[in-house]
Amino acid sequence: MPGKFGAGETHPPWVEYPPGMPFHIIEYRRPVRGLVLVAVLLLGGCSKQEPLYTEQLFVFGTLVEFSIWGAESEQAREAVSAVAADFQRMHRDWHAWKPGALTELNRALAAGEPAEADPFVLPLIEESKELYRRSEGLFNPAIGRLIALWGFHSDDRPTGPPPSQKTIADLVARHPTMNDIDVQANRVRSRNPAVQLDFGAFAKGYAIDLAVRRLREQGIDHAIVNAGGDLRAIGRRGERPWRVGIRHPQGRGVLASVETDGDDSVFTSGNYERYREHEGVRHSHIIDPRSGMPVEHVASVTVIHDNGAVADAAATALTVAGPKAWHRIAQAMGIKYAMLVDGEGTVYMNPAMAGRIRFEGGDPPEIVFGELL
Ligand code: ADP
Ligand code: MG
């Protein structure tokens, strides 16, 4: 479905482009100045024929878009405002570098002191310990110091030369892992002062899962929660499934589309949005915890899974695993559908994934199929 959103568009149409319909339900109009995006309902979102309610929130530095099918608009509006209240709290408590529950906990972990974890942060720690283990340590939210060292610990894009090899090696040698963290009831302690938590690789997935739980509590069974192209879709769009786009790793709109099946999270990790560039070399914001270096060989990874947090963590872990090891890590993390795209545009995926996606705007130059091991 190329065409409508040209090169350089910051907000490609990754949600919903139903076949046979005029492509998209929402048009984003960017004001001449300023970053606020104004949504214009084109197809009468709440009419009898199209009981589709859409609303956007700007949180986590991204636009989160809700598409709700088949609910009264009052019910939908109330459900989204319940989610909005949760999101405000997550944004404050989960932030890795702005003062809040997580920065306070990180201070205690670095000092070797036991700390009481905020009830909003504790489940992130517990779940990420498990995902750390299953990913063979490739998903490692304990490497907050390395992330900060590379400058991905800020809202601004880092500039200047990369950190010195020695500083990187020193931090890697201190080997911060999720296994260093002991959790007893709500008391948390780290045996390794080099541990610093950064949940950037899966907080979005976790937040989307909470949003879906909240929507269901409010009686919403058919919806998409889409945070900047990472999304979870539940139920159906009336008579047919939801159909969503997978972002192109080079930021050129949509690479492929997927029809979701009851409850699917579609998450893509890529190096096109956040990276560091120096003398023409681009460094991805995804760090290989084994070397302390940004991942080079992978442009993006897309995972489909029922749980958003797991999909998010896995997309990051498979980026680190790369074309040689993604099969094993996907299997260990319980993922059934995965696709990697490298810098040349070569696609690596398992046949089950191939059965679920359709490339939009032309096939990739090469596809390498591999079964999960
Ligand atoms: P996105 O969806 O934004 O492309 P990810 O979900 O892959 O990105 O998350 C990337 C973020 O995760 C980084 O900005 C950093 O904060 C953190 N991170 C980087 N490398 C790792 C890693 N190996 N394990 C866990 N977290 C990481
Ligand atoms: Mg991720």
Which of the ligands is closest to the CA of residue 269? 1
- Determine the length of the chain: 373
Q: Is the pLDDT of residue 263 over 50?
A: yes
**What average pLDDT score do residues 41-47 get?**
38
Q: Which is the closest atom of ligand 1 to the Cα of 96?
A: 16
Q: 132 C-alpha vs ligand 1 centroid, how far in Å?
A: 13
334 and 372 housed in the same domain: yes
pLDDT digits (tens, 9 = 90+) for 121-133: 999 999 999 999 9
As a whole number of angstroms, the distance between CA 267 and CA 311 comes to: 6
Q: What is the structure's pLDDT at 92?
A: 82
Q: 72 C-alpha vs ligand 2 centroid, how far in Å?
A: 33
13 and 51 housed in the same domain: yes
Q: Is the pLDDT of residue 12 over 60?
A: no
The average confidence (pLDDT) of the chain is: 86
Q: Which is the closest atom of ligand 1 to the Cα of 320?
A: 23
227 and 182 housed in the same domain: no
Q: What is the CATH number of the domain that holds 158?
A: 1.10.3980.10
Q: Which of 122, 155, 190 is the last residue of a domain?
A: 190
The one-letter amino acid code at 347 reads V
Q: 316 C-alpha vs ligand 2 centroid, how far in Å?
A: 4
Tokens 């002191």 locate to 113
How far is Cα of residue 267 from the mean position of the Cα atoms in its chain?
Answer: 5
Q: 20 C-alpha vs ligand 2 centroid, how far in Å?
A: 33
As a whole number of angstroms, the distance between CA 259 and CA 18 comes to: 10
Q: 317 C-alpha vs ligand 2 centroid, how far in Å?
A: 8
Q: Which is the closest atom of ligand 1 to the Cα of 288?
A: 23
99: helix, strand or coil:
coil
Instruction: Check residues 82 and 18 and name the one with the higher pLDDT.
Output: 82
279 and 358 housed in the same domain: yes
Q: Whose Cα sits closest to atom 27 in ligand 1?
A: 201
What is the count of structural domains for the chain? 3
Taking residue 270's Cβ as centre, other Cβ atoms within 10 Å add up to 24
67 and 210 housed in the same domain: yes
Which of the ligands is closest to the CA of residue 303? 2
Ranges of H-type helices in 174-254: 203-217
Q: Which is the closest atom of ligand 1 to the Cα of 202?
A: 6
Q: Do the domain assignments include residue 214?
A: yes
Which of the ligands is closest to the CA of residue 283? 1
Contacts of 219 (CB under 8 A, 6+ apart): 71, 75, 79
Q: Do the domain assignments include residue 195?
A: no
Cα–Cα separations (whole angstroms), residue 328 to 12, 29, 296, 325: 32, 43, 19, 6
Q: Do the domain assignments include residue 92?
A: yes
pTM > 0.85: yes
**Ligand 1: lining residues by beta carbon, under 6 Å:** 138-141, 147, 152, 198, 200-201, 230, 269-270, 273-274, 285-287, 289, 312, 315-316, 320
87 and 214 housed in the same domain: yes
As a whole number of angstroms, the distance between CA 297 and CA 170 comes to: 24
215 and 184 housed in the same domain: no
Q: 54 C-alpha vs ligand 2 centroid, how far in Å?
A: 25
195: helix, strand or coil:
coil
42 and 136 housed in the same domain: no
180 and 319 housed in the same domain: no
Instruction: Quote the domain boundaries for residue 157.
Output: 101-190
pLDDT digits (tens, 9 = 90+) for 300-352: 999 999 999 999 999 999 999 999 999 999 999 999 999 999 999 999 999 99
Of 102, 153, 274, 285, the residue with max ligand 1 atoms within 8 A of its CB, to mutate for a pocket test, comes to 285
Bridge partners, residue 337, by sequence: 304
Q: 76 C-alpha vs ligand 1 centroid, how far in Å?
A: 32
Q: What is the CATH number of the domain that holds 349?
A: 3.10.520.10
Q: Is the pLDDT of residue 93 over 80?
A: yes
